[in-house]
Amino acid sequence: MKELLSFAAFIATFISLYGLLNYYFYRKAAGCISCKSWGKALPAAFLLLMVFAPFLVNFASAAGLHNVALVSAWIGYTWMAAVFLFFCVHAAVDIVSVVRWIFLRISGRSRAVFERRRAVFAISAAMVSAALAWGFLEARTIRIEHVGIYSDKLSEPVRIAHLSDLHFGVMNGERFAAKVARLLEEINADIVVSTGDMIDRGLADFEGTAAVLRGVTAAAGKYAVAGNHEFYTGIEKSAEFHEKSGFTFLRNSAVFVSDRLTIAGVDDPAGRRYGINPDFFERRLLDGVPPERFTLLLKHQPVPAAGYDLQLSGHTHGGQIFPFNFIVGMVYPRVRGFHELECGCSMYISRGTGFWGPPLRLFAPPEITVIEIRPEES
């Protein structure tokens, strides 16, 4: 019952906030258009449909209507990004206008400052259109980031390819998997890891996507952990996908990869609904591991874990769409990149390799991270 109430509260909050964003757009657009009431009713109906488009995507996917889900996702999620960016741009103009109006009133030089609504609306729309175009291109340009780490716990260098937040689902499937596979072949890593959210709901070409990933080889293996979307999709189905993709699915477990390297993986906290406490396993997985071994932790959310030499995480998408990264930063102090932690450990947070929701990224390009761990220099 508690989970049901939490879910209902989330849905209500989402509809309210997203509805307000669309209402803001409607008010600004309506103020620039001179037409009869029915001419404003059509845009209002479209905006109402957009508020519920994400739910339509899920319903269509569950019903096996993949084409309906695909079209709904592209239109609905693109609009979600557009209306968010429009609010950010136009609200900034509104704030400046209000401040200017107050200043003029105080100084006794009363002047109309809201007379250029159409120009402001047009400029805002143009800026949003440019941002969307750039975001579409950026989301399809995966960067290869390189990180070097030295440790006296290793006798030979190890190259790790770090994937995160691939989100294979309605909009990303076999074609996207093939693109990622080609890049991994070029990297030729000893180990490939995925730090969660590999699969999402609505993946139509389940077998084909898994087959492409299965063709990616790594001398010391491929390892992955469950993110929150693995649980949303269904943990059993997610485990099947990882297995068919050739990944060892580390569910609160650890493996000895070599005589010097241990890789541990914990579930996302979303697993608590199944009675799983990842925090408990996070501490216990180090029990019995000799301190001279290099320990690598795969953990979806970038919450530091003490005791490990290196933690790899994702989840934040680097904010995905600027300026949403500032909101993400309120929840996670570390949003992206390499960090030396107070506990003497290190953590790398990936911006993610795919995208979730809007099919674009703005100033947060997708990445595959190549981590070279070398023996300590003398």
- State the pLDDT at residue 283: 83
Q: What is the architecture, at CATH level 2, of domain 145-375?
A: 4-Layer Sandwich (3.60)
pLDDT higher than 80, residue 85: yes
Greater confidence (115 vs 184) lies with: 184
pLDDT of residue 378: 44
Helices assigned H by DSSP within the chain: 2-30, 37-51, 53-62, 66-107, 117-139, 174-187, 206-214, 228-233, 235-244, 278-284, 324-331
146 strand-pairing partners = 370
What integer pLDDT is reported at residue 115 of this predicted model? 56
Q: For 92-136, how does the pLDDT look when each residue is reduced to its tens digit (9 = 90+)? A: 988 887 887 788 778 766 555 555 788 889 999 999 999 999 999
Query: Distance between CA atoms of 312 and 325, rounded to whole angstroms?
Result: 19
CA nearest neighbour of 260 among 305, 291, 237, 299 = 291
Identify the weakest region by mean pLDDT among 1-5, 105-109, 256-260: 1-5
How far, rounded to the nearest angstrom, does the alpha carbon of residue 98 sit from its chain's CA centroid?
Answer: 35
Q: For residues 10 and 274, what is the distance between their CA atoms, to the nearest angstrom?
A: 19
Q: Range with the lowest mean pLDDT among 37-41, 52-56, 209-213, 272-276?
A: 37-41
Q: Domain limits of the chain?
A: 2-138, 145-375
Does residue 34 have a pLDDT over 80?
A: no
pTM of this structure:
0.93
345/198: higher pLDDT = 198
Residue 2 pLDDT grade (very low, low, confident, very high; cuts 50, 70, 90): low
| Mean pLDDT rounded to a whole number for the chain | 92
Long-range contacts of residues 2-7, Cβ cutoff 8 Å, at least 24 apart:
3/273
pLDDT of residue 278: 75
The band of 1, judged by pLDDT with boundaries at 50, 70 and 90, is low
Q: What is the pLDDT of residue 108?
A: 67
